[in-house]
Amino acid sequence: MSCDLATEQTGSVSRPIVRRRRGLSTAIMHRVVEEFPVALVFNGISHAVMMATPLDLEAFAVGFALTEGIVERAADIYDLEVVVHTDSAEVQLTIAQPALQQLKGKRRALAGRTGCGVCGIESIELLDLQPQKIAHRNGAADVSPSAIESAARELPDRQILMRETGGIHAAAWCKPDGSIVEVFEDVGRHNALDKLIGGLALRQEDMQDGFVFLSSRASYELVRKTARMNIALLAAISAPTSLAIDIAQRARMRLLSFCRQDGFVEYTANDPPGPVSQPVSTATVRKNAAQASGPNPAPCDMGSDQRA
């Protein structure tokens, strides 16, 4: 695997701005997150163009291939070359022939906006909304509330580009005790997760020995990608969608949202839900979610809303 860098990328660039506050105007230079097109090419076939932050592109490509089901294992990727130009990048992958034939059969041509997970899908059937049940769920059941709170407490200090720019997502890999092992950042939340999965695969990390913690909301694509890697617990700072909850339940994944330093909301139980003894009003649900989220911004917001 090789990398040809036409220009060194840092993940952020300086731009002149005028800061207006309390009637005063100040002209300064400000760091903003980088975003430009990254083409993913499999055996010479251009498969996807994603808007991404040009860092950790090798991990991004490997993670994308795994979480999209293009390859079943990292060993099916025989070669990978990253070429970064001034305003774009290309990752050229050579994959095993069976994987290539399966990819051609899907006939998926993806042109994504900021890590969009479904642009270019030709039919609803290709969305793949029926995940296999996750095996080896014991580790997820053992993750305690204090572990989630510990991860929420530690993540802001590990978000280097977030502190610098105020506008980027993060995906973290945490041990069962909540300690953070690795953090990847990207302007797209799906890309950040792909980078994390790819990084773990390249390091041959055991993905059944820990959980994913996201600085964003939990959309269905993120749950589906996580389930595909047989990861049994996904925690996020912001809310899930209804489809994300449905997919997590089908996969028997623990899905936690509104994760803070003092609590969280769990949307999927360790066991199938039993009968509800008393109905709960919508107002009560909203009140409980608001109490869980608290009056303050999420610990990873750092003054900017990155939870979309």
Question: What is the 3-state secondary structure of 88-118?
Answer: CEEEEEEECHHHHHHHHHHCCCEECCCCCCC
- Asked whether 1 and 61 are in contact (CB, 8 A), the reply is no
Catalytic annotation, pick one of 116, 119, 174, 300: 116
> CB 83: neighbour CB atoms within 10 A?
17
Nearest C-alpha neighbor of 82 from the set 168, 153, 189, 7: 7
- The CA-based angle 284-272-147, given to 5 degrees, is 70
H or E stretch at 244: helix 242-251
CA–CA distance, 215 with 217 (Å, rounded to integer): 7
Q: Which of 39, 37, 47 is nearest to 71 (CA)?
A: 47
Handedness of CA 184, 150, 226, 143 (dihedral sign): positive
- Non-local (6+) Cβ contacts of 136 within 8 A are 208, 230, 232
Kindly report the backbone phi and psi dihedral angles of residue 20, in degrees, each rounded to the nearest multiple of 5, phi listed first: -115, 120
**CA distance to 138, 160, 187, 227, 268, per residue, from 252 (Å):** 11, 33, 29, 9, 8
Q: What is the dihedral of CA 114, 203, 127, 39, to 10 degrees?
A: 40
Tell me if 50 sits within 8 A of 191, measured CB to CB.
yes
Angle of helix 220-228 versus helix 242-251 axis, rounded to 10: 20
Active site residue 119: no
Contact 253, 227 (CB under 8 A): yes
Q: Which residues are catalytic?
A: 116
